[in-house]
């Protein structure tokens, strides 16, 4: 039996982070968690991390698609926060963001980690951005690191 599993250390990896400015207060904490995990756990070098800011979560798929097509990165982490309001806007922004990001991963065969919070309210977002429910940015970074190594092992 052959079993392929990815480790989470990737010292030569080049990682792009695409991050939305909308809900910056929350997203900044997601970014801190992502960068800390990439460097401290993944051993990714500071110069191999690129951060790209976009207006909102709706714009993340286009930025991630362009980053993927540049062929400069081994994985991309998408960060944002979509908080439900009183209208259907949430569904469109969150839906297009999530569908768009998974389409990029499937089209380009590049790991795209989904670090986008989709919450009912701001409290739930704060809980998931480095307080009592962990940091989804850090979790997304771990996913990116593991997928970089899994894909490398599959191809080896």
Q: Which long-range contacts (CB under 8 A, 24 or more apart) does 87-91 make?
A: 90/118
Closest residue by Cα to residue 18 from 69, 61, 53: 53
* Shortest Cβ 55–ligand INI spacing (Å): 4
Binding of residue 22 to ligand INI (CB under 6 A) = yes
d(CA 117, CA 76): 16
* Shortest Cβ 97–ligand INI spacing (Å): 7
Could you give the residue ranges of the DSSP H alpha helices within 109-135?
A: 122-127
Nearer to ligand INI, 27 or 48 (CB): 27
Strand, coil or helix: what is 130? strand
Binding of residue 20 to ligand INI (CB under 6 A) = yes
Nearer to ligand INI, 16 or 57 (CB): 57
**List 55, 66, 107, 134, residue binding ligand INI (CB under 6 A):** 55
Tokens of residue 4, six digits? 């392929």
Q: Which residues bind ligand INI (CB under 6 A)?
A: 20, 22-23, 55-59, 80-83, 85, 89-90, 93
């Amino acid at each position: 039996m052959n079993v392929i599993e990815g480790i989470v250390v990737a010292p030569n990896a080049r990682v792009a982070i695409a991050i939305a400015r909308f809900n910056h207060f929350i997203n900044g904490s997601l970014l801190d968690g992502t960068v800390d995990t990439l460097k401290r756990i993944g051993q990714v070098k500071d110069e191999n991390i690129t951060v790209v800011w976009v207006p909102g979560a709706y714009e993340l798929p286009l930025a991630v698609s362009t980053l993927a097509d540049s062929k400069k990165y081994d994985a991309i982490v998408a960060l944002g926060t979509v908080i439900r309001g009183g209208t259907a806007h949430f569904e469109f922004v969150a839906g297009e963001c999530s569908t768009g990001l998974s389409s990029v991963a499937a089209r380009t065969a590049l790991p795209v980690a989904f670090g986008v919070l989709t919450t009912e309210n701001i409290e739930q977002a704060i809980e998931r951005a480095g307080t009592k429910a962990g940091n989804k940015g850090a979790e997304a970074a771990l996913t990116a690191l593991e997928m970089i190594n899994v894909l490398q092992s599959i191809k080896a």
